[in-house]
Structure 1
Amino acid sequence: MTDEQFKAKTVLVTGAARGIGRAAVVEFARRGAQVVAADLDGDALAVLGREHPDAKTVVADVAQEADVQAMVAAAVDRFGSLDVLIANAGIIPMAPLLETSTADWEQVMAIDGRGMFLSCRYAAEQMVPAGSGAIVCVSSISGMAGQSGQSAYGAAKFVATGLVKHLAVELAPAGIRVNGVAPGTIRTDRVVALETEPGGPEYLADIVRKHPLGRLGEPSEVAAAMAFLASDESSFVTGAVLAVDGGYLAQ
């Protein structure tokens, strides 16, 4: 069933094969969008493509400029335009500062930082001539407030938050809105796997206690927030980073 809010609009989702990105593909398809799903994991992307054959799948590494250019070109070639970018691709390394190497820093900044910049840059290249468009960047509660053990990941998510603020101002005259979401801890496959790992159940119980609503979020709840920010229902919203965090940042 579809509500047709995005009928005839092209939505490009990065990091689309799993978790929040996968939920975004499902949500925008449900709302009638022409979806392009990009991810580095070709095998997982192929599974997604079989389950959602109307979506265009593109294997792409957002840290590589040529790949980003190619995935945007694939969206335009397939559907004729690019109306919405969901810049979701990222990795989540977590380690104390003294255990975080330069290589760890470079990797997360390449994917979560440079990858998001490149995705926004080449999406905007298509949107500016059209005079319209919406970009939603995935930040995090770690990109809004400090947390222990996230010196690399958290800093990269502050890049996402910063891009939202600066690009919202720069691209507004071109009719492009730029917003972000800041998820709390979401029940992705990786988080679910913690339940069977040593110390995982205790870690998850502690995380749940830190969210005032007393539970983890679902990928579909983040996807719904993305769809709102990309839709005409938020037509006077730009430069906002919407927390989808069960009250975590309100404390």
Structure 2
Amino acid sequence: MANHDAETTHGRLSDRVCVITGAASGIGRATVERFLREGAHVVAADRDADRLATLEGVVPVVGDVSRDDDAKRMIATAVDRFGRLDVLVANAGVIPLLSITEAEASDFDEVMAVDGRGMFLTCKYAIEAMLVSGGGAIVCTSSISGVAGQARQAVYGPAKFVATGLTKHLAVEWAQHGIRVNAVAPGTIETERVAAARHEPGGPEYLAEVVRAHPMARFGEPSEVASAILFLASPDASFITGAILPVDGGYLAH
């Protein structure tokens, strides 16, 4: 089957078969909604079964990306249901706000399992499927913490450097097979996680400091990140691979 990136369609993702992980909330949910509006067939994966059940118009898969069998099943569901996989959005992640003195080894292990190993596994099985169908596009969710240092990111930041590195290495390795691999690097986004941080010890002070570091003087919206993910997943980005696209209100421009 020819590389679907090269096809012209009515919607930017018309008839594309897409898997989105971490789909039940935040950036993942906004991406699901945007992809559906653009005509995509969406397999939405998350370990939160209750929230996943509130999404309409998707094929839901409850699972944990850090588990090999679950990650494989997310991709297999798309192939079994629609015959191929065109797009993976590797978005699942957990975001603790911890300094290295506050964190335990178990915190580091949990974040690396989901944000690191989970991204590795979903990319692995997506690439295997895309090799059969003739190519595709992967968009990983990295972070400004995967490009530059931040306070209280001793466990989250290193995992996002994994996302950034994995993106670049896979982009080089699979470009000749018609598979593009890019990433978004969001700044602080108004997700449920940020809302929760406002009620954690030290959270309001931390967020006030972080918003001052964004030249646009506000946090982003999930829909703004979803728009960037859509661009990288779509044929509009057909000559872009290995890119880390900041969606950060200017944070990394300092």
TM-score (norm 1): 0.94
Q: How does 1:111-150 map to 2 (within 5 A)?
A: 111-150=114-153
Question: 1:172 maps to which residue?
Answer: 175
Are residues 1:46 and 2:49 paired?
A: no
Matched to 1:31, the amino acid is E
Question: 2:5 maps to which residue?
Answer: none
CA contact (8 A) 2:144 2:252 kept: yes
Distance 1:89 1:240 in 2: 19
Q: How does 1:149-160 map to 2 (within 5 A)?
A: 149-160=152-163
Structure 1 residues 156, 230: CA separation in 2 closer, same or farther (over 3 Å shift)?
A: same
Matched to 2:195, the amino acid is V
1:58 Cα offset (Å): 0.4
Distance 1:149 1:202 in 2: 12
Query: How large is the RMSD of aligned CA atoms in angstroms?
Result: 1.5
Question: 1:4 maps to which residue?
Answer: 11
Question: 2:7 maps to which residue?
Answer: none
Question: 2:66 maps to which residue?
Answer: 63
Provide Cα deviations, 1:153-184, integer angstroms capped at 9, x if missing partner: 10000000001100000010110000000000
Q: 1:92 aligns with which of 78, 95, 117?
A: 95
Distance 2:180 2:233 in 1: 8
Distance 2:33 2:82 in 1: 18
For residue 183 of structure 2, give the secondary structure of its aligned residue in structure 1.
strand
Matched to 1:247, the amino acid is G
Kindly, what percent of the aligned residue pairs are identical? 61
For residue 75 of structure 1, give the secondary structure of its aligned residue in structure 2.
helix
CA contact (8 A) 2:189 2:220 kept: yes
Question: 1:72 maps to which residue?
Answer: 75
Aligned length: 246
Matched to 2:17, the amino acid is T
Q: Which runs of 5+ in 1 are unaligned?
A: none
TM-score (norm 2): 0.93
1:203 Cα offset (Å): 3.3
Distance 2:59 2:91 in 1: 17
Matched to 1:44, the amino acid is R
Which has the larger displacement, 223-232 or 187-196? 187-196
For residue 206 of structure 2, give the secondary structure of its aligned residue in structure 1.
helix
Distance 1:69 1:194 in 2: 32
Q: Which runs of 5+ in 2 are unaligned?
A: 1-9
Distance 2:248 2:96 in 1: 19
Distance 2:218 2:79 in 1: 40
Distance 2:164 2:156 in 1: 13
Are residues 1:217 and 2:220 paired?
A: yes
Are residues 1:15 and 2:22 paired?
A: yes
Q: 2:31 aligns with which of 13, 21, 24?
A: 24
CA contact (8 A) 2:42 2:59 kept: yes
